[in-house]
Chains A and B, each alone.
Chain A
């Protein structure tokens, strides 16, 4: 089944403890991205990647890192999480870098930083 898989689905952590949210797609998509969803703010892009080893900042990149060592994986790294990073996170992938290509989203990761 074609899908985008995120792990974990739920995570509670403490301030400053490094964490990684994994994202994997099995559709051989070139384009991958991370979003955070907050009440009243909608979906905001954190980082995106147009291909292996090609990443760029989105609209809210502060406090996050990403890597794209393989085409299928695009982990989101929080080196020192803070409470303002408590949010619902989504990974997405698209077949091509063209913006008019359907984005496939993962199920989401609900992160709480205390």
Chain B
């Protein structure tokens, strides 16, 4: 099955700084790479995703980059704000496109005012 490694497990930044979270995966056939944000006391929520036919996707202050050759993708948050504090999960399809996602172990991001 698919193996997903997510780093770092915790990340603390000052408000206004950038934050980067990276995930590596093992199955080269994987073609869909979402990122979910889990705020305290809530369920995860999709914030951005990328498909294997593009290398980068942006949505305001967040962006995801994909390196298929190296089999890793990253979440970039610029101009961080306290409300960005949350746990972030990456995910990849199990077995290169089957009907379920395999999630990374999560990164707890803290943005200090």
> Hey, which bits of chain A sit against chain B, CB under 8 A?
4, 31, 33, 35, 40-45, 48, 50, 58-59, 90, 92, 97-100, 102-103, 105-108
Given contacts A100-B49, A107-B42, contact A42 B101 (CB under 8 A): no
**From residue A41, how far is it (CB to closest CB) to chain B in Å?**
6
Q: How many CB-defined contacts (below 8 Å) exist between A and B? A: 61
Interface centre among A43, A97, A103, A108 (most CB of B within 10 A): A43
Find out whether the CB atom of B99 lies under 8 angstroms from the CB atom of A50. yes
Determine the chain A residues whose CB is within 8 A of the CB of B1 once the complex forms: 59
Q: Which residues on A sit within 8 Å (CB–CB) of B29?
A: none
CA distance A99 to B9 in the complex (A): 25
The B70-113 residues at the A interface (CB cut-off 8 A) are 89, 93-94, 97-106
Chain B count of residues within 8 A CB distance of the other chain: 28
B residues within 8 A CB of A98?
99
Instruction: Determine if A33 and B46 form an interchain contact, defined as CB atoms under 8 angstroms apart.
Output: no
Specify which of B36, B93, B98, B101 lies most central, judged by the most chain A CB atoms within 10 Å of its CB: B101
The 6 closest A-B pairs by CB, nearest first: A105-B43, A42-B105, A100-B32, A43-B103, A99-B93, A102-B46
For A4, the chain B residues whose CB sits under 8 A away are: 43
**Known contacts A99-B32, A99-B97, A100-B49: does B41 contact A107 (CB below 8 Å)?**
yes
Give the shortest distance, in Å, between A74 (CB) and chain B (any CB).
14
Residues of A within 8 A of B97 (CB): 99
Cα distance A40–B94 when bound, in Å?
Answer: 20
Distance in Å: Cβ of B86 to nearest Cβ of chain A: 13
Whether A40 and B41, one on each chain, are in contact in the complex, defined by CB atoms closer than 8 angstroms, is: no
Can you list 25 pairs linking A and B with CB atoms under 8 Å apart?
A: A33-B100, A35-B103, A40-B105, A42-B105, A42-B106, A43-B44, A43-B89, A44-B103, A45-B100, A48-B99, A50-B99, A59-B102, A90-B43, A99-B93, A99-B101, A100-B49, A100-B51, A100-B93, A102-B46, A102-B49, A103-B36, A103-B101, A107-B43, A108-B41, A108-B43
